Amino acid sequence: MLTKRQNLLETIKGGNPDRFVNQYEAFVCTDAIYGMIMGDPISAQGERPMPGGPPKKNAWGVTNAWPAGVPGAFPVHDAEHKVIKDITKWREVVKAPKTDFPPEAWEPFLPKVRAIDRNEVFATAFVAPGIFEQCHHLMGMDDCLLNFYEEPEEMHALIDYLTEYELRYAAELVKYYKPDCIFHHDDWGSSINSFMAPDMFEEFIVPAYKKIYGFYKANGVELIVHHSDSFAANLVPHMIEMGIDIWQGCVSKNNVPELIKKYGGKISFMGDIDNSLIDREDWTQESVAEEVRKSVERCGKHYFLPCITQGGPGSVYPGVYEAITKELEKLSKEKF
């Protein structure tokens, strides 16, 4: 029987997997929060809100709120709380967090990393938010999208600044954790379309990620897994250009079977089991089983990793993620 790591590699290389890659199983790290390496002195800066608690300001100066009953936190973008109110003055208000921590600051986080069995799974570092998300976290989505049109030079300059920070952060992750895989968040679309047209995406976003993902690949990282739980089928050629190995979060609206047929072998797809269909208060094992079966039967065994589309192991409603896992175990026995 192949290890989880081996089985994933066989799947994305079009080889001989002996079962379906079961959601995030190949990225699980011993005793790490959220199933991946998330703790480090750089990302630990600033404050984070708790569900139902008061808003908190992170290390970038972005105020995040997490109201009770809401799946996650998101920035507050009223006039008082926006970090960037005028894009032409972003240099006055945007200050990147510190990255030059001494070795002793990293030491408390290392036991979790050292405990990972790298023959069984990928030592996976979690990075969020991404370049586009950081832009709209700082100024709001409306202002962000307008500024791409109205102030392109300033947006290029801001993205360059954010990219340089990410590269400094990447250098420290590589130095201390030596990750095998990077799981990077940056949502690039809604459920029906990308936020930017492909040409604009190519101009503003692609160069940044070619630098970031190129750095990781040049420094021992084997896999780049990028999360965008959205429609982004029109951006797949750019994902390939960036160096993404697995697009995680591809909702079924993308026509994942067609993407596999067209791009399989250049990139793999992780998702197709939409939260919106099964991660509901009225979920049942039967409703989950129906959607999971549909997904694996339309997408096949190669270049596809069946998974809930949200960006990490878990679900909004307790038990849904585990129900998917159970169905995939059954289907592996049936299909392989």
CATH number at residue 82: 3.20.20.210
Spatial separation of the C-alpha atoms in residues 267 and 215, rounded to whole Å: 19
| Residues 252/278, Cβ–Cβ less than 8 Å | no
Please check whether residue 172 lies inside any domain of the structure: yes
| Residues 264/303, Cβ–Cβ less than 8 Å | yes
Please check whether residue 319 lies inside any domain of the structure: yes
Please check whether residue 25 lies inside any domain of the structure: yes
Please check whether residue 144 lies inside any domain of the structure: yes
The confidence score (pLDDT) of residue 68 equals 83
| Residues 243/210, Cβ–Cβ less than 8 Å | yes
Structural domain of residue 172, as residue ranges?
Answer: 4-41+68-335
Please check whether residue 212 lies inside any domain of the structure: yes
The confidence score (pLDDT) of residue 33 equals 43
Lookup: tokens for 214: 């190129």
Lookup: tokens for 94: 């945007």
Distance of CA 87 to the CA centre of its chain: 26
| Residues 271/307, Cβ–Cβ less than 8 Å | yes
The confidence score (pLDDT) of residue 14 equals 98
Spatial separation of the C-alpha atoms in residues 253 and 136, rounded to whole Å: 24
Please check whether residue 55 lies inside any domain of the structure: no
The confidence score (pLDDT) of residue 260 equals 98
Q: How many domains does the chain have?
A: 1
Helices 141-150 and 152-177 sit at what angle, rounded to 10 degrees? 120
Spatial separation of the C-alpha atoms in residues 205 and 212, rounded to whole Å: 11
Please check whether residue 57 lies inside any domain of the structure: no
Strand order in the sheet with 56-57: 56-57, 63-65, 74-75
**Measured between alpha carbons, how far is residue 106 from residues 40, 47, 70, 109, 171 in Å?**
6, 19, 32, 6, 13
The confidence score (pLDDT) of residue 103 equals 97
Please check whether residue 110 lies inside any domain of the structure: yes
Spatial separation of the C-alpha atoms in residues 91 and 157, rounded to whole Å: 9
The confidence score (pLDDT) of residue 292 equals 98
**Cβ-count burial 326-335 (b if 16+ within 10 Å, e if not):** bbbeebbeee
Kindly give the parts of the chain with pLDDT less than 50. Answer: 30-34
